[in-house]
Amino acid sequence: MSEQGEQQRGAPGRQDDRRHVGPQRERPALHVGRLCRGRVRCRCGIPHRPPADVYPVYRCADGDVRLCLLSERQWRGMFAWLGEPEEFADPAYDSIAARVAAADRLEPLITELFADRPAAELVEEAARRGVPLAQVLTLGDAVASDHFTAAGTVALREIAPGFATTLPVGFADVDGHRLGIRSASPKPPATQDAQNTQDAQWTPRHRPTASRTDGAPFSGIRVLNLGVIVFGAEAGRAFADLGADVIKIESTAFPDGLRQTRRGEAMNASFAWGNRGERSLGLDLRADEGRQLFKDLVRHSDVVLANFKPGTLDSLGIGHAVLEAVNPRIVVLESAAFSRKGPWSNRLGYGPLVRAACGVTSLWRYAPDDTESWDGVTVFPDHVAARLGALTIAAALLARERTGRGAHLEIAQSDVVLHQFAVLAALEGLRPGSAAADADVGTALFGGVFACAGDDEWCVIDVRNGREAELLRRATAAPPDSQVDGDLHEHVAKWTAERPPAEVAETLQGYGIPAAAMTRQPELLDDPQSRARGTFTTMRHPLLDGELPAENVAAPYGQLTPPPSRPAPLSGEHTVDVCTEVLRLTPERVRDLIDRRVIHQR
């Protein structure tokens, strides 16, 4: 989940080994969060779809809003907004589980509160009360919003000589400047001969012959990971997997929500997935001494990453300007749900709210009026934004080799979402109201998503030219004169409906036609391509029973052997090691800091 200010989804699990979690093959292979619950049927009656009731959608005067109540503080804000109804005054309702159990009584109260008020008004009041709420916007609404314009996420750009439209132009700020599209594409060569001349003038960069090595790409790099929940875990792990010393900074007062367990287990499997290879330092950043210790760590580090509400690091006294003064080579990445430059910067934001505000929810649904069929608990965009954040950090580290200076990087997850829908967003700018999940974006001659044999089974077909259209007719035994803009579509739909999606994809691929089956996440573990590339592996944690399926390192390497990974740490497990090895504190000094709770250990 995107984490914007709140670090706690519930009570942290006990840090002991009295309870274990058994093997969970059905759990996600992509590390953190439940991208899919496997073969289940949600309350909306659609098989395999994760339920949307965890992040419910409510009707309001002019549309819909989505609520995401997780922490006790957020619930207290909602409780006050409801007028402090006596039946929910019991502190037991601070628990998510208790509120879910009482949904039949709680939901009507919230529904009534929201029903007659405009969405924008509700969202603003929610922000004042500390309640995470977002308006469900269309992609067109999002692109046209004042926030993304003010943030510099979208802008009017000439995409070809004499041809301009409004579209996403960049998702990352480096030292306050947005990277992205600034000018139109160059004119194509007037003739084929000119193109051939350009090609002939291009010389590939010499690639030296490399021998296999056990060296890790980020060996010697130290990352201070203030990040929490999914983004923090994924961004930090990207460096830990490739040899960096990643130190997770943790607080007993604001534990990482990913440490929450349902029954007080010693380790959450999601935390074990996402934070493997990291060390944990328990540190109170609210204490003057704690902040000074952090600054001392920065002197010996290369990267600081965080994903809080904009301004949080500054309010703690460890903003980029302060850290840069301590270490001019430091690279600081701050990620939030919404950019600090726009009017939505004060909004609490988690993945479900980002999806709602950026048009994903309005696209990702079966029926417009059936809110339970809308996007459910799928963790997006956290994984994608974290990986892009890690790549941006890597680029800044490379630039540092040339300039000798670090950088201040800012990436809003909502900006990342709009760029993943950049083609649809550009189409919306050209033809307002045209953006849809099945919109024709002009990249194919024929294609789309086709229903296959089975319950909620699908495949994608993408025919790019006349030759492939003829091959499609042969593969599906369609009449030779069937038209791509007419009866061929009907014929192909009937043909796919009689076959499982894997068979459809394999048959069409055999004819050289781009096609793919919809694959649910648990099925990826047995996918032949994934197996061949070593995309997934298994991992163990001493506090978890059995093996867990896990994503392997980012890519298969020909000349590099990634280092062995350490299991995810308990909170404060490496406090003493970090203080003595990195900060060179004496044992007596460490004990004093522990006694005064400036630092903590497991």
The neighbouring-strand residues paired with 247 are 224, 279
CA distances, 402 to each of 289, 405, 410, 422 (Å) = 34, 8, 21, 32
Strand-strand pairing, 407-412 and 172-174: antiparallel
Q: What is the dihedral of CA 217, 238, 281, 255, to 10 degrees?
A: 180
Burial label, 332 (beta-carbon count in 10 A; 0-12, 13-18, 19+): buried
CA distances, 71 to each of 11, 229, 396 (Å) = 9, 13, 35
Coil, helix or strand at residue 261: coil
CA dihedral sign, ordered 485, 488, 494, 497: negative
Nearest by Cα to 148 from 357, 349, 299: 357
Cis check: omega of the bond before 381, within 30 degrees of 0: yes
594 within 8 A of 600, measured Cβ to Cβ: yes
Give all strands of the β-sheet with 331-336 in edge-to-edge order: 177-179, 172-174, 407-412, 331-336, 303-306, 222-225, 245-250, 279-283, 599-600
The neighbouring-strand residues paired with 544 are 21
Q: Which of 256, 284, 382, 415 is catalytic?
A: 382
113 Cβ contact partners less than 8 Å away, ≥ 6 residues apart: 81, 82
For residues 225 and 248, what is the distance between their CA atoms, to the nearest angstrom?
Answer: 5
327 within 8 A of 403, measured Cβ to Cβ: no
Whose tokens are 């399926």? That residue is 549
Coil, helix or strand at residue 104: helix
Known catalytic residue at 382: yes
| 229-240 vs 382-403: helix crossing angle, rounded to 10 | 50
Coil, helix or strand at residue 520: coil
Active site residues: 382
